[in-house]
Structure 1
């Protein structure tokens, strides 16, 4: 299985989603974007995890998978963890590979005839943060005094608020 680990260059929020800009995706995932632009429906799944690097830095990972053999791992370092609360609140994330959408704004670009964004919408991105929270809580109990873990636990506690129920 091919796994690519990337770090966001920019994190922000719109009215509807957390916006994550990773310019390298435009080239690295061009085959996937071509399939999206051709109108193909592509199933994906994702999970949240916590890893510690060789330099003892904790990273929160969002691993996205599709087509059984491909995946993308987005790594969030300590400075980015505050966005986990926003992700839980917005429940959607847009991974963007093109600064043009941020610079010019999507409404202006949508008027262009051949607008094909290099962006992936992840719905229900908060799914799995509860498991990550429980894992971090366990680690804090076993590894007392690790400031990064304590901070992450406090941040993730903010993602545990009840979600509104939508009935159809």
Structure 2
């Protein structure tokens, strides 16, 4: 995809995973689903980032997926979706779905076809711990401290206690 930021249409949860429906990646996801169907392992690396535009007073969170073929998918979350994003802390896995037709009307069930067309991303919660740290350590001169405090507090509130029983940031 080359790093263009795309936005999810639906953010939802299942019993043990969270899911995103992002129709803009349907074509891209088809190639990875095809590789998996042929028995090939598809590797990826997840990274969470903050994009701050001081002039426009906009803060955006991105989830960057770097695939093993060096393509990158960048999914953006505006401040309006941060409360839902904080729920990600409660889940280790994310199911990335390219089509809203793969979920039921009640948003509680995913069709069997989703296992073929969707993509399971593991380790979702680990990157969010780093994001909470980034938000807590934004320099005050950027004048977005209020938004970063809000983000950091929200992520920490929903985050599980780490190994030693302490919260980061």
For the aligned pair, the TM-score class normalised by the smaller chain equals: 0.7 to 0.9
Q: Quick one: distance in 2 between partners of 1:117 and 1:96?
A: 10
Q: Quick one: distance in 2 between partners of 1:78 and 1:42?
A: 31
Q: Quick one: distance in 2 between partners of 1:68 and 1:27?
A: 15
**How much does 1:130 deviate?**
2.0
SS at match of 2:133: helix
Q: Does structure 1 conserve the Cα–Cα contact (< 8 Å) formed by 2:66 and 2:73?
A: yes
For 1:162, the equivalent position in structure 2 comes to 161
Q: Which moved more, 1:115-124 or 1:63-72?
A: 115-124
Q: Structure 1 residues 91 and 163 mapped into 2: Cα distance closer, same or farther (>3 Å)?
A: farther
Deviation string 1:63-99 (CA, Å, 9 cap, x unpaired) is: 1111252111111111111123321112111110121
| Aligned residue pairs, count | 160
Within-5 A mapping of 1:133-144: 133-139=132-138, 141-143=140-142
**How much does 1:28 deviate?**
3.2
**How much does 1:8 deviate?**
0.4
Within-5 A mapping of 1:7-156: 7-53=7-53, 55-103=56-104, 105-106=109-110, 109-110=111-112, 117-139=116-138, 141-143=140-142, 146-156=145-155
In angstroms, what is the RMSD of aligned CA positions? 2.6
Structure 1: gaps (5+ residues): none
Structure 2: gaps (5+ residues): 164-169
